[in-house]
Structure 1
Amino acid sequence: MTLYLPHFGLNEYPFSLTPDTGFYYDSRPHQEALNVLLVALRSGEGFLKVTGEVGLGKTLLCRMLLDALREEAITAYIPNPHLSPASMRLAVARELGIHVNEGLSQEQLLQVIQDRLLLLARDNRPVILVLDEAQQLPEATLEAIRLLTNLETEKRKLIQVVMFGQPELDERLSRPSVRQLRQRITFSYRLLPLDRAAIEDYVRHRLRVAGYRGAPLFTAAAIRGLYRGSAGTPRLINVLAHKALMAAWGEGADQIRAGHVRRAIADTEGAPPRGSRRFSWPKIVTATAIVGMAAVGLWWWLPAGGVA
């Protein structure tokens, strides 16, 4: 369903929460993080880490890294690493294209993985294990990953590891019981929120990718509202910008103003309304005779089928 797309001259939803690399915004923090990762991996470093608060774009950055490495390395991507050591080894084996017999012991499985890594090393094909949501890693699995990185030739590691996680990952790695792994992390980066100037560029970028070609769609006051309501967190910016577009569409407005953003903030968990009373989205949408009651049904449909 198109909802507000034709109203604003859009080809697709510009603020979807799906981490689509086509919408990747090359902000300074993200570009610095990607550069650090690529330089470190290409120089053969064994353990790398990127942390950041919820909603700062770690998963999208992770996918950009995988895309950048596609032609030069074999990547094993584990999006949900809340796995036992045995399950982690099995997942790594499968990502490396190894057919695993059910009767293999853990020692035999590790040997099969090592044999595969040695074969790839002889072909000069680096192997990189990428772990998203790494703060979920059980301590025993962290140790299993550390032992995997013990596999090496005289000149290089057989497998490199990149961990993406929330700040809780740093807390876990600060424990004395995992100090051996922590000492192996040679490069790390902490993602930061976008500043106000970057938010304006971010919004303009996503609208352009979605097909918008007109005059600035969000007023300066609306951008300031997005900054206040999101504190620079891209995921919250997306939520607020989408709801503001919905509000403007419901009124038949051709530009998003501060009032539309205030309504979006009032309706969003984690975005304090700063003194504004909460608005009910059915009231916002049905306030105009242009879309009438049909818009109410579309709005309640959207979180399940549109951007959530």
Structure 2
Amino acid sequence: MYESHFGLREAPFGITPDTSFFFKSPHSQEALNTLLVAARSGEGFIKITGEVGTGKTLLCRTFMKTLGDDFVTAYLPNPLLEPRTLMLALADELELPLPSDVDQHQLLKSLTARLLELAAQGKRVVLCVDEAQTIPRDSLEALRLLTNLETEKRKLLQIVLFGQPELNEHLQAQSIRQLAQRITFQHDLGGLTRDDMEYYLAHRLRVAGFTGARLFSKGAVRKLFTASRGIPRLVNIIAHKAMLAAYGEGRQRIDTHHVKLAARDTAVASRRGWPWLATGLALAALAAAGALLSYRLSL
């Protein structure tokens, strides 16, 4: 919509987890380093927690993309599954064909054989579980049992849990205490600092093709940090709306009042559903841009 207006190839502040936009802040880089060290050391369970919008899914995808060819990755984006269905999902990720009526014994036997086959090829298998705070406890126990599978040298399966802070409470249950004890590496993702956020904005704009000078004024950055509390998803949503507002006015720079408008819209959106309001803001921006163009043509 506004890409050509600001000299961009693509929108810089989307909320889909595009790994090309991964920003190596101290928090995210430390988390990525933790994941890579843990995976290469062959540990069984790894845990990454963070509040909603702090970039867990983007970190997960970046981690899987960063692992070398000697790793095979499996990804479960929605682990709200009972144990059998969860293991079937893992089998599917490992390209293991199974009959629909496979029994539990044969399922586990086939998974073990597949993991041994990959190990014989020199491959390490890492299962990344997103939204891990939603996993039922009996399914968590099934995962723990899968990590019992090992050769004399190492585990056949490593598991990385990405979840909201509720995951920590989940793991305190007495019934799964053995799993909690096996988590040898963990990291908690925080939000961006004020300085980090300025670099974050510049990074995403650069990836999107921006080659100009400062696009967000210093006042706009301060207001954006206050409104978003440094949470990357909120930064993206508010920055995107602020750019729409500036575009609607025909401005080439995002100032404080654009961010205020965007933050106010987002604050309302948190109660009523931001996509609908974002659409309204976009339509208003288009109308304003059209009016501005008509006015200039009439001169």
Paired with 2:256 and 2:286, the residues of 1 have a C-alpha distance of 17
8 Å contact from structure 1 (residues 226, 241) kept in 2:
yes
Deviation at 1:112, TM superposition (A): 0.6
Matches within 5 A, 1:260-279: 260-269=258-267
Amino acid at match of 1:137: I
Q: Deviations over 1:274-293 (max 9, x none)?
A: xxxx998366664562268x
Corresponding residue number in structure 2 for 1:77: 75
Q: More helix by proportion, 1 or 2?
A: 2
Deviation at 1:76, TM superposition (A): 1.1
Match of residue 104, structure 1, among 96, 99, 102: 102
Corresponding residue number in structure 2 for 1:303: none
Amino acid at match of 1:182: A
Higher alpha-carbon deviation: 76-85 or 118-127 = 118-127
Match of residue 158, structure 2, among 147, 157, 160: 160
Match of residue 292, structure 2, among 290, 293, 297: 290
Amino acid at match of 2:132: A
Matches within 5 A, 1:58-73: 58-73=56-71
2:189 aligned with 1:187: no
Q: Deviations over 1:50-95 (max 9, x none)?
A: 0000000100000011101251211111111111100011011111
Paired with 2:76 and 2:45, the residues of 1 have a C-alpha distance of 15
Paired with 2:122 and 2:252, the residues of 1 have a C-alpha distance of 56
Corresponding residue number in structure 1 for 2:168: 170
2:279 aligned with 1:259: no
Corresponding residue number in structure 2 for 1:89: 87
Q: Alignment length, in residue pairs? A: 285
Paired with 1:253 and 1:97, the residues of 2 have a C-alpha distance of 52
Corresponding residue number in structure 1 for 2:41: 43
Amino acid at match of 1:290: L
Amino acid at match of 1:46: G
145 and 56 in structure 1: CA distance in 2 versus 1, 3 angstrom threshold: same
8 Å contact from structure 1 (residues 229, 271) kept in 2:
no
- Structure 1 runs (4+) deviating above 2 angstroms are 269-272, 278-289
Corresponding residue number in structure 2 for 1:240: 238
The unaligned stretches of length 5 or more in structure 1 are 273-277, 293-308
Deviation at 1:173, TM superposition (A): 0.4
Amino acid at match of 2:58: L
The unaligned stretches of length 5 or more in structure 2 are 271-276, 295-299
Superposed CA RMSD: 1.9
Counterpart secondary structure, 1:269:
helix
Deviation at 1:271, TM superposition (A): 8.5
8 Å contact from structure 1 (residues 250, 291) kept in 2:
no
261 and 271 in structure 1: CA distance in 2 versus 1, 3 angstrom threshold: farther
Paired with 1:270 and 1:172, the residues of 2 have a C-alpha distance of 32
TM-score (norm 1): 0.88
Amino acid at match of 1:214: G
Q: Deviations over 1:249-277 (max 9, x none)?
A: 111111000000000000003789xxxxx
